[in-house]
Structure 1
Amino acid sequence: MSRKYKFRDQDKLHFVSFSVVYWLDVFIRDEYRQVLLDSLRYCMQHKGLEVYAYCIMTSHVHLIIGSQQEPLQNIMRDFKSYTSTQLKKAIRENPQESRKEWMLWLMERAGKKNGNNNAFQFWQQHNHPIELNTNFLLQQKLDYIHENPVKAGFVSLPEAYTYSSAAAYAGEPGLLDIMLIE
């Protein structure tokens, strides 16, 4: 079965998740999470990405997204490519990163196994977009995203997790200016 999932209907919102190769816990450092946030902001401002929900976990990211401009598969391709390059650089140049050699070795190992890469791979290959074509499915994925840090034991309330849109849905400021689902 092909793992090349597609964004079928550009007029619908989609739930996407993508993970670091080998589920490495990269996003335990603020500077790495900041690369993701800055890249999402850029895509929102310059590519027409609409972010309705997000959660940055230690090894993966969940989003509910849409776009009325550029096709979502193009935005996600560019986002993952750019963040891969920037995160590799950030890891390599971070003097505080005690896991540097090990993480880069694993990412190079993953890249050499995958003919689509240049001997380096940060993200797993797929996004598995799920079209949110019913209110039930939309609410289910929104709850899933916001409950993820609670289920992982990071916080006891979804809105307490800094790297999530749950605060915005609770009426508090968040790290990204998102579009709320009403």
Structure 2
Amino acid sequence: MSRKYKIRDQERLYFVTFTVVEWIDLFSRQVYRDIFLDSLRFCQTNKGLDLCAYCIMSSHAHLILGRSGDQKLEDIIRDIKKFTSLKIIQTIKELQEESRRNFLIHHFSKAGNSNPNNSMYQVWQQHNHPFELNTEDKINRCLNYIHRNPVEAGIVLSPEEYLYSSAKNYAGHPEKLIDVILIE
């Protein structure tokens, strides 16, 4: 793996992207977005995750994150991906309303079987390409990119209109799904 995509400084903020295998539109259902948000909340409370920005799109999620504790950032990222993978697979199997069950299980199983790091299923692509945010310009560009993602996708007209994004937090709206540490 290229040194460019490693977390080298645990005290810095990083821009990361979690992408569903084959870019499957998994997060078109609220139940899966909620699993992802619950995992972030758990890591904030219990693992020292500093979440500064996020946006959950249909097939991926962008985050700006850091840490405030002893646990390494890459370990927190691993735990988020592991927990959400297990919980999402369980939910797919149990959710009566999931009309895509066979499709999702087939693709997640195929990805898991072709990856020696997994035993059965793989929900997330292996990489997350952490990008160190070591200048104010990099932070601002990534923050803008995250919040404009739903606008560029034609989902909303302004970033604050998108529910599954921290743009509401930054705009000072009281309706927010998860607390973030605002980057000043």
Which residue is 2:171 aligned to? 170
Distance in 2 (CA, whole Å) between partners of 1:12 and 1:105 is 38
Equivalent residue runs for 1:135-146 within 5 Å: 135-146=136-147
Q: How does 1:145-156 map to 2 (within 5 A)?
A: 145-156=146-157
1:7 corresponds in structure 2 to 7
Give distance in 1, aligned partners of 2:159 and 2:181. Answer: 18
Distance between the aligned counterparts of 1:130 and 1:141, measured in 2? 10
Q: TM-score normalised to the size of structure 2? A: 0.96
User: Secondary structure, in 3 states, of the residue corresponding to 1:17?
Assistant: strand
Distance 1:35 1:180 in 2: 23
1:132 is matched with 133
CA gap 1:180/1:48 in 2 versus in 1, 3 angstroms: same
Deviations 1:137-174 (A, max 9, x none): 00000000000000111101100000000011111131
2:51 counterpart SS class: strand
CA gap 1:59/1:3 in 2 versus in 1, 3 angstroms: farther
Gaps of 5+ in 2: none
Tell me how far 1:63 sits from its aligned partner.
0.4
The percentage of counterpart residues that share the same residue type is: 53
Residue of structure 2 in register with 1:106 after alignment? 107
User: SS where residue 27 of structure 1 aligns?
Assistant: helix
After TM superposition, list the pairs within 5 Å mapping 1:1-182 onto structure 2: 2=2, 5-69=5-69, 70-173=71-174, 174-182=176-184
Return 5+ residue gaps in structure 1 as ranges: none
Change (3 A) 1:36 1:151: same
Q: 1:28 to 1:3 in 2, by over 3 A?
A: farther
TM-score (norm 1): 0.97
